[in-house]
Amino acid sequence: TSSNVVNIVEVGPRDGLQNEKGSIVPVDLKVQLIDRLVKAGVTNVEAGSFVSPKWVPQMSGTAEVLKKKTHVPNVHYACLVPNQRGLDDLLTLLSSSQHQQPPLTDEISIFTAATDAFTRANLNCNISESLARLAPVARKALDNNIRVRGYVSVVIACPYTGKVDYKKVREVSKALIDMGCYEVSLGDTVGQGTPFDISEMIAEVTKDVPVSNLAGHFHDTFGTAVANVMAALDSGIRTIDSSVGGLGGCPYSPGATGNVATEDILYALQNSPYTVGGTANGTIDLSQMVDIGWWISEKLGRESVSRVGRAIRAR
């Protein structure tokens, strides 16, 4: 029987902010966001990306963000890495701050997709080239005591080629596990999936990958993300990626909206058999998350798009 603890990976500072148009979100604001999330009980937070600043300008300050944040023990501040260059930049930063205990980060996320067209848009290569490129990155990270998480994008539908073959999702997920990823996060990048689609896709992937090594990553474009989280939990998944205030979108998925809001998951799982939080007695505080969702959204010049955040604020 599976555990009833649901782990949240808070991706707002990365998946949320990477898509901001206009001026670059200041490092200090990113740092405040990360520190507030951790204070509210988050134990896994994506802090940024070591990607090309030409491709994703918003993530260019990630090294500064890592240095300036509070370094809380037992919190994983994962960073996305697309290639060897990204990992080498991170390792240089870590060796120049060796005195820092705990280290600035102990986790990277590598990413690819279930279609060649999306992989080309996101990484400028096809799936098999991306896997060949990522395998030595994963090995080197593991050799440096950095754990590796994998992402598969467009697990349901691709903005360029439409409906996705779940067998391909299974094959790519397996390849990421085989190169040493402790977990693979299944991304409905377009946010088009329904609960039924999610269950069917997970049933296919779990033919090759244990469900305990999978996470769900659902964008909310069609308003099905909370329902998709429930479908993923029913299928045995216990790690969910979400974004405070429902921040975000994907720069290479036109029209896609943000991730499922963390507040909305916390609310939906109240009075359920599930406890939310990665630690033994740790939980994530709903009212603090609502406040953070509004605070960061207003800093970005808009309102929170979390349904729960809006409902609570309206009372």
DSSP 237: -
Judge residue 302's burial from the number of C-beta atoms within 10 Å of its C-beta, 0-12 exposed, 13-18 middle, 19 or more buried.
exposed
The answer to the question of residue 12 lying near ligand HMG (CB under 6 A) is no
The answer to the question of residue 86 lying near ligand HMG (CB under 6 A) is yes
Q: What gap in Å lies between CA 296 and CA 303, rounded to an integer?
A: 9
Contact (CB, 8 A) for 156 and 164 = yes
Contact (CB, 8 A) for 235 and 198 = yes
Question: What tokens were used for 194?
Answer: 């329904």
- Look up tokens 């709903």; give the residue: 286
The answer to the question of residue 80 lying near ligand HMG (CB under 6 A) is yes
- Look up tokens 């990155």; give the residue: 137
Which of the following is catalytic: 79, 158, 181, 250?
Answer: 250
Q: Pattern 20-49, binding to ligand HMG, x per CB under 6 A? A: -----------------------------x
DSSP 15: I
Between residues 92 and 124, which has the closer beta carbon with respect to ligand HMG? 124
**Identity at 31, one-letter amino acid code:** V
Q: Which residues lie near Mg ion (CB under 5 A)? A: 15
Q: How far is the CB of 121 from ligand HMG (least distance, A)?
A: 9
Provide Rg for the chain, Cα atoms.
Answer: 18
Q: Which does 149 bind (CB under 5 to 8 A by kind): Mg ion, ligand HMG, none?
A: none
Q: Pattern 232-261, binding to ligand HMG, x per CB under 6 A? A: ------------------xx----------
Q: Which does 56 bind (CB under 5 to 8 A by kind): Mg ion, ligand HMG, none?
A: ligand HMG
Instruction: Decide if 250 is catalytic.
Output: yes
Contact (CB, 8 A) for 11 and 243 = yes
Q: Which residues contact 135 (CB under 8 A, 6 or more apart)?
A: 179
Q: Which stretch binds ligand HMG (CB under 6 A): 2-10, 53-61, 63-71, 298-306?
A: 53-61
In the region spanning residues 262 to 301, those forming contacts with ligand HMG, defined by CB under 6 A, are none
Q: Which stretch binds ligand HMG (CB under 6 A): 90-98, 119-127, 176-184, 286-294?
A: 119-127
Q: Which of 3, 100, 124, 272 binds ligand HMG (CB under 6 A)?
A: 124
Q: How far is the CB of 217 from Mg ion (least distance, A)?
A: 6
The answer to the question of residue 199 lying near ligand HMG (CB under 6 A) is no
How many CA atoms lie within 13 Å of 218's alpha carbon, on the beta-carbon side? 31
The answer to the question of residue 82 lying near ligand HMG (CB under 6 A) is yes
Between residues 258 and 277, which has the closer beta carbon with respect to Mg ion? 258
Contact (CB, 8 A) for 9 and 46 = yes
Q: What gap in Å lies between CA 147 and CA 145, rounded to an integer?
A: 6
The answer to the question of residue 52 lying near ligand HMG (CB under 6 A) is yes
Q: Which does 93 bind (CB under 5 to 8 A by kind): Mg ion, ligand HMG, none?
A: none
The answer to the question of residue 134 lying near ligand HMG (CB under 6 A) is no
The answer to the question of residue 55 lying near ligand HMG (CB under 6 A) is yes
Q: What gap in Å lies between CA 295 and CA 7, rounded to an integer?
A: 24
Contact (CB, 8 A) for 10 and 46 = yes
Cα dihedral 56, 98, 282, 198 sign: positive
Between residues 80 and 286, which has the closer beta carbon with respect to ligand HMG? 80
Residues near ligand HMG (CB under 6 A): 15, 18, 49-52, 54-56, 80, 82-83, 85-86, 89, 111, 122-124, 151, 153, 187, 189, 217, 219, 250-251
Active site residues: 250
